[in-house]
Amino acid sequence: VGVIDREYYDILEVDPLADNLTIKRAYRRLAIRFHPDKNPDNPEESREKFQKIGEAYQVLSNPELRRKYNMYGKKEATPDQGFCDPSDFFANLFGGEAFVDLIGEISLIKDLTKALEIAEMEKKPKNEDTSVSIKSNIALSFSDKKTITCSSPPSPVSTISETEKNTQKNYKKRGLTKEQQEELLAFEKEKASVRKKRVEHLANKLVDRLNIWTESTKDELTTRAFQEKIKYEAENLKMESFGVELLNAIGVIYIQKGTSLLRSQKFLGISGIFSKIKEKGIIAKDIFGTISSALDAQMTAEQLSKLEEKGEDWDSIRKIELEKEMTGKILLASWRGAKFEVSGVLRRVLYSTKDVCDKVLSKSIPLEKRIERARALIMIGAIFCETQPDPGDEGRVFEELMRNSTKKKK
């Protein structure tokens, strides 16, 4: 390929013929290596290098900008909105934009932060213990199935007004002022609206993906082509932050739901009942795991803080190890919370709920079509579950920190 300027390719250490997947891999490897936080001894040089890496990736990962760059050079290959701060790429810790059509935007941390801000509305709380108690209770309410959350589907017999009444009672018990209660209720309604739009969007996108197979001849050749397409998508998606973990989690839900529907037809619905009971057990386990991980991270942070307050003359190696352990535990808690949210959203997408009645496996859809979709879901789920990181992938720094924290806990 004749390119007028090789600078961006040289920065990412790739050939001008490199495909998007190769460019993405190169970016992730270099961005981690030269991130300013990873180079405290030479921050200015690494920051400049990091900026250039981000700029090169933004151009070469965009087909139109890359075409202009190849033909005319850097001057004609500037994004319309200008270059983004490369640090923004690290803001999307779990999947980022690449996963938007599969899981939407993970909002757990943002929602929790907003709720805690409301808890701090009073400038002078009566005492610090009460303030801490309120914040802890609000944090726990995000994994409480009685509140309106993105993760927990409402009971088919419940109504919004009933849920609001229950939520108000919970807030009163937790010592919130009337103003705080009103703010939180308004926030819950806003979340419900966002959740509804999110589920509708994801359901439509999933149907489009399934239709590639369900609306085809479904013969061996077409099925193989469909599977290869999904495998290629998975290879791209796994390069995102926590991409492998997200694909595995999505795959499990797809297989569970697809298998449950197929079995329910063979065993007159009995198997479907047992699948739902098993699913509730998994949800309860996920809630417990999320809360326990958050508490474990908090305890480690407090331990580190106390050691620093004592002013002990501890060596830098021990301090770095403790900080890594704390970061890993925070990542683990965040991941479990994100996974819990994603699982809940996908369950809404796959089955009819009170909010939206035309979902991927809703009973309003003809049985034959539901069975075809279930089979396609299982195919996609199996590929997602089989997806593994590349050997020696240097970009999985956050994932390794999280994994190491679980090993130490054991």
Q: Which residue in 211, 200, 24, 187 sits closest to 104, CA to CA? A: 200
pLDDT tens track of the chain, all 410 residues?
578 899 999 999 999 999 988 888 788 778 767 776 666 677 778 888 988 998 999 899 889 999 999 999 988 888 776 676 655 544 466 887 889 999 988 877 667 666 666 666 554 444 444 444 444 444 444 444 333 333 334 443 344 455 555 555 555 555 677 887 788 888 888 888 888 898 889 999 999 999 999 999 999 999 999 999 999 999 999 988 889 999 999 999 999 889 988 888 765 544 444 455 455 555 455 555 555 555 565 565 566 566 556 665 556 666 667 766 766 777 777 778 888 888 888 888 876 544 333 479 888 889 999 999 999 999 999 999 999 998 877 667 677 777 776 665 55
3-state secondary structure 9-55: HHHCCCCCCCCHHHHHHHHHHHHHHHCHHHCCCCHHHHHHHHHHHHH
Name the amino acid, one letter, at 149: T
Domains of the chain and CATH, by start: 7-91 (1.10.287.110), 194-409 (no CATH)
Q: What is the C-alpha separation between 273 and 260, in angstroms, rounded?
A: 9
Beta-sheet strands, E only, within 177-239: none
Residue 384 burial (C-beta neighbours within 10 Å; 0-12, 13-18, 19+)? buried
Specify the pLDDT at position 160.
Answer: 46
Q: What is the C-alpha separation between 89 and 33, in angstroms, rounded?
A: 14
Sign of the torsion angle spanned by Cα atoms 379, 263, 154, 288: negative
Specify the pLDDT at position 296.
Answer: 62
* DSSP helix/strand/coil, 187: helix
pTM: predicted TM-score of the whole model, two decimal places: 0.62
**Cα angle vertex 143, ends 140, 145, to 5°?**
120
Sign of the torsion angle spanned by Cα atoms 288, 292, 294, 295: positive
> At residue 60, what are phi and psi to the nearest 5 degrees?
-75, -20
**How many residues does this entry show for the chain?**
410
CB-CB contact of 319 with 168 (8 Å): no
Contacts with 318 (C-beta within 8 Å, 6 or more apart), sequence order: none
* DSSP helix/strand/coil, 188: helix
Name the amino acid, one letter, at 340: F
CB-CB contact of 105 with 202 (8 Å): no
Q: Which residue in 96, 401, 90 sits closest to 246, CA to CA? A: 96
Q: What is the C-alpha separation between 402 and 205, in angstroms, rounded?
A: 31
Give the helix ranges, DSSP H, for 100-159: 100-103, 108-119, 128-141
**Cα angle vertex 322, ends 318, 328, to 5°?**
145
Q: What is the C-alpha separation between 263 and 266, in angstroms, rounded?
A: 5
Q: What is the C-alpha separation between 338 and 242, in angstroms, rounded?
A: 11
CB-CB contact of 230 with 380 (8 Å): yes
CB-CB contact of 409 with 300 (8 Å): no
> Other CB atoms closer than 10 Å to residue 306's CB: what's the count?
10
Q: Which residue in 243, 238, 397, 409 sits closest to 333, CA to CA? A: 409
What tokens appear for 142 in the block?
A: 């995000």
